[in-house]
Amino acid sequence: MRGQRIAIFLLSLGLLGVGWWGWQQKMMKEDLEKLLSNHYQRSFYNLADHVGNAEMLLGKSLVAMDPKANAAILADLWYEAITAQENLGQLPLSNSTTVKTAKFLNQLGDYAYFLNKRNAEGKLPGKKEREQLQKLYRQAQKLNAELQVAVQDVQDGRVYLAEVRRESGSTLGRQARKPQPLDMKPVAKAMQDTPALIYDGPFSEHLERALPRGLSGENITLARAMDIARSFIDGQGKVWEVRTKGDVRGKIPAFSLELVPAGKTSEERIIMDISKKGGKVIWMLHRRKLAEPVLSAEEAEKRAVAFARLRGYDNLAPTYVLREDGIATVALVAVQDGVLLYPDLVKIKVALDNGQILGFEATGYLMSHIQRQLPPVLVKPEAIKKKLPPELKVEHIKLALIPTPSRNEILCWEVKGKLAGELYYEYFNVKNGSVEKVLKVIETQFGSLTM
Report pLDDT for 353. Answer: 95
Closest CA to 61 of 145, 157, 137, 166: 137
User: What is the residue type of 426?
Assistant: E
Chain centroid to Cα 249, Å, comes to 19
Closest CA to 258 of 246, 266, 275: 246
Report pLDDT for 396. Answer: 93
> Distance (Å, rounded) from C-alpha 104 to C-alpha 306?
46
Number of neighbouring beta carbons within 10 Å of residue 395: 12
Report pLDDT for 165. Answer: 41
Number of neighbouring beta carbons within 10 Å of residue 89: 13
Number of neighbouring beta carbons within 10 Å of residue 402: 19
The 3 state secondary structure assigned to 91-120 is CCCCHHHHHHHHHHHHHHHHHHHHHHHHHH
208-239 pLDDT tens trace: 557 888 899 999 999 999 999 999 999 878 88
- Are 259 and 242 contacting, i.e. CB atoms less than 8 angstroms apart? yes
Rounded to the nearest 5 degrees, what angle is found at the Cα of 158, between the Cα atoms of 153 and 161? 80
> Distance (Å, rounded) from C-alpha 97 to C-alpha 440?
40
- Mind giving me the DSSP string for 173-199? S----SSBPP--HHHHHHGGGPPP--S
Burial class, 386, CB count within 10 angstroms (exposed 0-12 / middle 13-18 / buried 19+) = exposed
- Are 286 and 270 contacting, i.e. CB atoms less than 8 angstroms apart? yes
Model-level pTM? 0.63
Beta bridge partners of 312: none
% of the chain at pLDDT higher than 70: 76
Per residue of the chain (451 residues), what is the pLDDT tens digit? 555 555 555 555 555 555 555 555 555 555 545 545 566 778 888 888 998 898 888 888 888 777 777 888 888 998 898 888 888 877 766 555 677 788 888 888 888 888 888 787 777 788 888 888 888 888 888 888 888 888 887 777 776 555 444 443 333 333 344 444 455 555 555 555 555 555 455 444 544 557 888 899 999 999 999 999 999 999 878 889 999 999 998 889 999 999 998 877 778 899 999 999 999 999 999 999 999 999 999 999 999 999 999 999 999 999 888 888 899 999 999 999 999 999 899 999 999 999 999 999 999 899 989 999 999 999 999 999 999 999 999 999 999 999 876 667 999 999 999 998 889 999 999 999 988 888 888 876 666 666 6
User: What is the residue type of 63?
Assistant: V
Closest CA to 90 of 32, 172, 164: 164
Report pLDDT for 448. Answer: 65
> Distance (Å, rounded) from C-alpha 258 to C-alpha 226?
9
